[in-house]
Amino acid sequence: MLHLVILGALLVVSVVHATFYPTYPNIKTCIGLPVQYSCENTTVVTDSCCNVVRGGLVLQAQYWDTYTGLESHGQLLPKGSWSIHGLLPVNCDGTFGQYCDLSRQYDPKPSPSTLPNGTVITPYKGPSVKDFIHEFGRSDLLRYMDTFWINQGAPNEELWAREFSKHGTCTSTFDVACYEPGYKEHQEVVNFFETVVKVFQMYPTYDMLAAAGILPSNTTTYTRAQIANALYSQTGADPWLGCHDGSALEEIWYFHHVLGTEQYGNFKTLDSITPSTCTETGIWYYERTPKSEKAVSH
């Protein structure tokens, strides 16, 4: 009994001393403003924190990797699921930015290392973005990311850092100004990760394909129409299909316009504006390498 009392007291102390900071932006100024989809506005957008002005065509990108290269370190792919690539912002005119705010550059291995205008991206050497997540008490988010947001050939957190630095800084609703007053450093980074996870969960690609009889196989190939039609039947739009060497399915992008903020707004699925890199027939959806997967809860 004494043991239980002491344990209970310790739990109470741990809860009392745990610090949780909010990660959401300040959207009070958005109340009463016109509600409109990004890239479809008919009136001038007056607040880029309330609507996705920069990076208004949003791509939810997923990978189908067959191995990680770090299996010996326990870095495994989620069984029965594709993995997260990220949220890729494209401007309404079809252009796109990269590493748009170098004061928030957390990528230890920038790619590209030099922007088209000649700007050199200095590799980041500070604390890991995992530490940022811990600062906000989001161990639940970190567990999910370590399960579904998997890098290949390098630790997961390097991919996460790249996706925020390269893409998150190019989306207007993740600007630091959107979190004022009371902004806490790295607040928008964690909020970006939350948003990436939320949108990924909209598209259970593995299940949608499996329901149409399309499963990973080293003996059976599929047509591009079979894959596209299976996804269209559940999303109402044609995503971009990416294949290595034209025949090995490895990536899918779902296109959107967003009503409101990227964090909490409504995502309207659109047809891809980019031609597929997959051939029309003979597409391989390869099985993963043995021991490269782990069972996960969806």
Q: Which residues are known catalytic residues?
A: 85, 163, 167
- Would you say 168 and 50 are in contact if contact means Cβ atoms under 8 Å apart? no
288, 231 in Cβ contact below 8 A?
Answer: no
CA distance 249 to 253: 12
DSSP 8-state assignment for residue 122: P
Task: Considering only the C-alpha atoms of the chain, give the largest distance between any 2 of them, rounded to a whole number of Å.
Answer: 70
What CA–CA distance (Å, rounded) separates 71 from 47? 45
Assess contact for 63 and 85: CB atoms under 8 A: yes
String of b and e for 88-118 (b: at least 16 CB within 10 Å)? bbbbbeeebbbbbeeebbbbbebeeeeeeee
| 257: nearest Cα among 69, 48, 90 | 90
Count other Cβ atoms within 10 Å, centred on residue 277.
Answer: 15
